[in-house]
Each structure stands twice: as structure tokens, then as C-alpha cells.
Structure 1
Amino acid sequence: MIKTSIIFLATFFASCSFAWAQKLIDSKATPETAALYQNMHKLAQKQILFGHQDATDYGHGWRDEEGRSDVKLVTGSHPAVIGVDIASLTGRPAAVIERNKQRLKKLVTDTYIRGGVTTISWHFSNPVSGGGFNWKDSVSLPAVKYIIPTGQNHQDYKAILKDLSGWFKSLKGPKGEAIPLIFRPYHEFDGDWFWWGRAHCTPDEFKSLWKFTAGYLRDSLDVHNLIYAFSPDNKFNDVEKYTERYPGNEWVDLVGMDNYGDVGRDGKYNLEQAIKKIKIVNDFALQNGKLAAMTETGLESVVNPVWYTDVLLKVLQTNQLNLAYVLLWRNDSKSATHYYAPYPGHPAEPDFKKFYNDDYTLFENDLKNIYGK
């Protein structure tokens, strides 16, 4: 009887812990958004979704060909997660923004109808100065302090978010349901290359920006189809540094890491560090009821023909991690060298097929009703 009670209590507390882990920061999240979050938690216990930035928008040597992706040409399946950037929805003439809204809307809708997942990044052009999204000395202004609630350009930022909210809410499935998105704004904030980076705002200013952005979209603009993802680069070695700009559990659904530097960029490999850092992310997520992910990674030009199995899988599988997805960066349509997934005939194609066939990795064709209970 005592043994049975112990087993019951263990099961009860485990189920309570898992239910807590599934809780989004938006109590009004749409049913499909909540189901996606729950299902990603479940899948992460044993498998990982594979993602690729801009996979169906363009690829190596092509653009705007419906139904195509370099990943599908090699494996027969689109990625399970497709990255879309909304840089083109801000800082441009109204007519251009409207065309971009329709183009990106179709990409997101098509992915949802096929059963895939979309993650949104935002290379946000500086809203208070020139310089674009990158920091440019003598041109860029430290915009964060200007657009947070105490800043002189705060109303301008509210107008930008209001416009974006309309696009988020315009994304509808076949039955009129809102399409869920993993929203990953202000990524790689621990570097200095973006205007929202470490050198250009204080930790408190960054936290204020994050809290206002999420709170305004959710509470004032009634956007309820977003999963909020927090993703620094790899500039940390412990959980204290990782969470230096973390706004708090009530403001984040998914924690991640972008890491190119430890996995082959410029020919430099430090897999021990890559494994250590993704475990920090993973453990923090488990302890705080969040999803975890490798939100960006890759090796430009895939100059190592066995990178996917000898490097990426090793980093992901060395420890028993609970990672929702891993996303490679894009395949540029014009550049001969800027690509991160192989195309047909590339030397890394056989290795990528091994990666695809591994039981651990999930592609779009593997997903079954990820938006349902």
C-alpha cells in the first residue's frame, strides 16, 4: 500500500510539473497556440524538430517557386520549422510594406496548412536613426532607451507594434483560426552588432523593451497567437550570464541560443563549449517550465561534408536534452557561398540524408496534428 501511494504521488507531481511546463505567458492564447506549445514539450522529450530559415521563400539559385525548398529537394520533405523574418514589414514605404505583408502571409499560411511550424525573427531597422538593424558607428543611435515607455520615441514604437499586430492577427487557417507563431524578437542581444545589443543598452533597458513589447501585443492589442522566444548568442558560460537580460518567467515561453562560433565558423570548433552552453539553456528551461531550442546555428557553405552528423547531432545528443527545435540559417538565392543547408549535388548531401533519417530528427512530413490535442 505504501509503495502504491509513493508511485501515485510521484506520478501526480510529475504530471503537475509537466502541466506547469505547458503554461504559456498568455492566458488567452488560442487553442491552436496552446496545443502547439504542449505538443512541442512532449516531442522534445525524445525528438527534435528540424528548421531552416526562409526555406520556402528562396534557396540556392532560385526564388519564389511555390512548393520548393532546398531541404525538400534533398530529403523529400520541407523542414518542420520554417523561419520567416519580418524586417520588410517596418521602415519602408507603405505600399512596399503592404506587398511584403501579403507575400509573408502566404508563406506562413502555406506552412500551417501543410502542418509545419513558423518562427518569426525581426531584423528591425533602427526606428530612431539610420544604420539599419546593424550598429554603425557615427550613424546609429542607441534606440532602446528612446522607444521604451520612458523614451521620447515611445509613441512611434507603439504605432509600429500596432501595425505588426494587424499582420499577426491577419494570419488565419482554413477555419478562420489564428495561426500560431514562435515570435523571436531582439535576438543575439548579448553581442554588439545590433542596435539592441549589449553595448547599446543596459540590462534594465532591454528588459523594459521586452516586457513592453510582449505586454502591449498581448494585453493592449489582443494578439494571442504568439509563443515568445528569448535567444541570445553564445556569449555566456554560466546561467548567471545567460539570464543577465532575462525579463522573467512571466514574459518568456521559450529560451534558446544562437551558436555559430563554437561549431565551425571560420574553421573554429569548440564542441565542448557548444555542448556545455546548450545544456545550460536546456537545464534552465526544465527548471523554469519553458521550452528550449537551438534557435540558430549552421556552417556557412557546409565546408565540412559530415557536419550534420559529426557536429550538429553530437552537440544535440551528447546529453539527454529536451530541445524543441534546431534552426539552420538561410540559403541565399544569389550568393554562391551563403547557405547552410545542402542543395542537390552538394558534397554534404549524403550526410544530410543521414541526419534526416535519424530517428531523433523530425521534418515536416513527420508531424502529425501538431496543432491539435
Structure 2
Amino acid sequence: MISKHTLTIIILIFSYTFGHAQWKLMDKNATRETKKLFHSLKKIQKKGTIFAHQHATEYGRGWSGDDDRSDVKSVIGTHPGMIGIDFQNFTGPNAEADKARLKKIAEDAYNRGAVITVAWHFSNPVGPGGFYWQDSISKPVVNKLIPNGDAHDKYKDILDGIAEWANSCKGANGELIPMIFRPYHEFDGDWFWWGRSHCTVEEFKTLWKFTASYLRDEKNVHNFIWAFSPDTKFNTEEEYLERYPGDEWVDMVGMDNYADLGRDQYDLDTAYKKLKIVSDYAIKKKKLAAFTETGLESIPNTTWWTGTLLNLMKRDELRLSYVLVWRNDSRSDTHYYAPHPGHKSVPDFIEFYQDKFTWFEDDLAKKNIYKKRKHK
């Protein structure tokens, strides 16, 4: 007969094995630091959310290319906790220079203790139109990129370049830098060539699976956390998962939503409902969740940071590892999404920063989220 003590131990082992073991990356060969980041993000999303800003340290209002600068740091004294970069120019005429520039940005951010998230505004590799779909000139291309497509080899060459770059980004001890990779975002809209009107459900899933398997299994990229993020064109979990490639191909689920946070309307109830679908799915499937893009251009609402964004993020039972606002154009008078010195939303942003719920670079550096080894 089993004693109560032995039974308790068995139950605890069973609970740990089947409760915690599912919290794992899709890449069983992920690097040590990538695994550490994954589990650190899991812990953070239980008690707060990292603030992220696209292109934060590359340029800002009236400046570009300054070392260790961001508009956010100029306002509060520290960078965002997560820095967004983009592979957009990796297939352009100045690809090698751009790769070198982004390599330094990623390495600097990692060595400071921040997180890197990567978007891919991928220009159509076989035709005109850039990454946007333009009705007069664009043609379907997803079916050409997947296996048996006539541009499949060209696509593999492009992925080879991404793999070479990812495997060149290293920290102070020579370790590969982990990154959140978010390809083919907002696929439920029609504005990108990979959007829902321009490829079938199966073609999109095949594109995702091939991209992930090729980089992971053929090119040995083991420092990516894979993020799946549509826009707002869903109202149920079933609709959210329409183009989902499967749990074995995704580490993080998210969504982009500008419309309900002031761009088109203020509808926080709808925004919450959709984020709740994302968050609930992540909890159920032991995935990370994130609010992968949002923001209010020019930030005309002086209390947007606490009254809108923080209000939404703190709603019951949401678990979001980060929230990213879009870029601050260096030349435009209106295209910016984070405050800069002198902006009328600065006092509210300082309150947003000071709230214990939000995580910035100084918070992450204190926690050593990668569990970095001491320098050799």
C-alpha cells in the first residue's frame, strides 16, 4: 500500500512532468539563451508587460543613427524593454550594409539586457509592388515560393541570407542572440501580398511551415522564437486559428490592433475581447502571448498611455509578454507613435513608465532575463 507521503510525491512529479514540460519551444535544439528568454517572458507575462518600440534605437524625431539613443530614453532615461527591427531591406540593393547595421543594433540591445523582435516587410521577390498589394501591378506569389513553386529556389536563397545573419549575431561571450521572429504578420488583411485574398489557407500554412522548417532544420537557426500575429479580422478562436500552422510551428501568439485604440475608434471592450482570445489560447496551449503592434499616430490624446493602453493591458486575466508601438519617423511631422522630448503626452508616459506593470530596459537588465554567464 502506497503511503500518503509517497502518493504526494508521485502527484507532484506527475504535475510537473505534464504541467510544465509542455512549456517548450518548437525548436528542441534552441540555444540556452533562447530557452531562458522564452521562460523569462512566460514569467513576465504573469505580472506585467514589456514595452516595445519599433526601430527605437535606429532613428527618431529629427535624428538617425546615433549610438545609444532613442526618443524613449530621451524622455525617461532608459530604452524600451524590447527593440523592433525589420528584415525589410535584406533583399534590397544595400542588403549587406543593412545587415551589418542591424547586427550592431541587435547585439547592442542584447548586451544591454533588452529583447529583440523582428518583423519582415518582405518586398515581393518575383514582381513589382513592394510588400504592399497593389491591384494594378501585383500578382499572387505565395504559391510560387512554396515547394514545387517556380520561385522556390529563389526563396531558399533569401532564407539563406536570413540564416547567415541570425547565426552571426552574438553576445559578449560569443553566444547566439535570441530573437522573436514575426514573419507574415497581418495576414488576415488584404494589404500585403501574403494576405488572405492573395493565397489560400493551405498555401499560407505551407509557406509558414516551410520557412520555419528550412531555417531551423536545414540552416541551423536555433535562436528564433516564432510569433504568429494577424490583425483584427477575427471574433472567435476558430476565426483566429484559420491560418494557424499548428502548435508545433508556433511559440508565441499575438495580434495587431490600431483601429480600436484611437485610430478609427476607442473601443477597448472589443480590443479586450480579441486580446482575451489570444491570451486564453496561449494559456491553454502553453504558448507566449503578445500585443504585437498598436499605437496612436502623433499621440494627440495626452492620457493615451495610462487611460487607453495601460487600462487595456491591465484588464482581468490578460497575459501579454510585450506590447509594441510603431516607429517614430525621423522626417515626418506626424508619423510617430512614442513620445519625444517636449511632446504633450510626456507626463502621462512617465506615469506609464513608473507603473510596476510595465517593463523597460532598466527593469530587464536588473532581472538578467537571459541568465547570462559572466564574461570570460
The interval holding the TM-score normalised by the smaller chain is over 0.9
2: CA distance between counterparts of 1:238 and 1:3? 44
1:357 counterpart = 2:354: yes
1: CA distance between counterparts of 2:284 and 2:351? 33
**Secondary structure at 1:170 match in 2:** coil
Structure 1 residues 1-373: aligned runs within 5 Å: 12=13, 15-16=16-17, 19-90=20-91, 92-93=92-93, 96-266=94-264, 268-367=265-364, 368-372=367-371
Alpha-carbon shift at residue 9 of structure 1 (Å):
6.8
What are the Cα deviations for residues 91-134 of structure 1, in whole angstroms up to 9, with x where unaligned? x22xx111111111110010011010000000000011100000
What are the Cα deviations for residues 192-246 of structure 1, in whole angstroms up to 9, with x where unaligned? 0000001101110000000000000000011111000000001111100000000
What are the Cα deviations for residues 228-272 of structure 1, in whole angstroms up to 9, with x where unaligned? 000000111110000000000010000000010111104x11111
2: CA distance between counterparts of 1:326 and 1:224? 24
Alpha-carbon shift at residue 22 of structure 1 (Å):
2.7
Task: Report how many residues are paired.
Answer: 369
2: CA distance between counterparts of 1:10 and 1:71? 48
Gaps of 5+ in 2: none
2: CA distance between counterparts of 1:115 and 1:213? 28
2:161 alignment partner AA: D
1:262 alignment partner AA: D
1:188 alignment partner AA: E
2:158 alignment partner AA: I
Query: TM-score normalised to the size of structure 2?
Result: 0.95
Percent of paired sites with the same residue: 56
Alpha-carbon shift at residue 6 of structure 1 (Å):
8.6
Alpha-carbon shift at residue 16 of structure 1 (Å):
3.7
Cα 1:6–1:55 shift into 2, 3 Å? farther
Q: Is the 8 A contact 1:83 1:121 kept in 2?
A: yes
Pairwise CA RMSD: 1.7
1: CA distance between counterparts of 2:82 and 2:16? 27
Alpha-carbon shift at residue 7 of structure 1 (Å):
7.2
- 1 or 2, which has the higher helix percentage? 1
What are the Cα deviations for residues 66-98 of structure 1, in whole angstroms up to 9, with x where unaligned? 1110111111110110000110111x22xx111
1: CA distance between counterparts of 2:139 and 2:168? 32
2:217 alignment partner AA: D
Alpha-carbon shift at residue 332 of structure 1 (Å):
0.5
2:369 alignment partner AA: I
2:84 alignment partner AA: G
1: CA distance between counterparts of 2:7 and 2:336? 53
**Secondary structure at 2:308 match in 1:** helix
Alpha-carbon shift at residue 299 of structure 1 (Å):
0.5
Gaps of 5+ in 1: none
**Secondary structure at 1:333 match in 2:** coil
Alpha-carbon shift at residue 352 of structure 1 (Å):
0.5
2: CA distance between counterparts of 1:177 and 1:101? 18
Alpha-carbon shift at residue 162 of structure 1 (Å):
0.8
2: CA distance between counterparts of 1:300 and 1:14? 46
| Runs of 4+ off more than 2 Å | 1-22
1: CA distance between counterparts of 2:28 and 2:186? 27
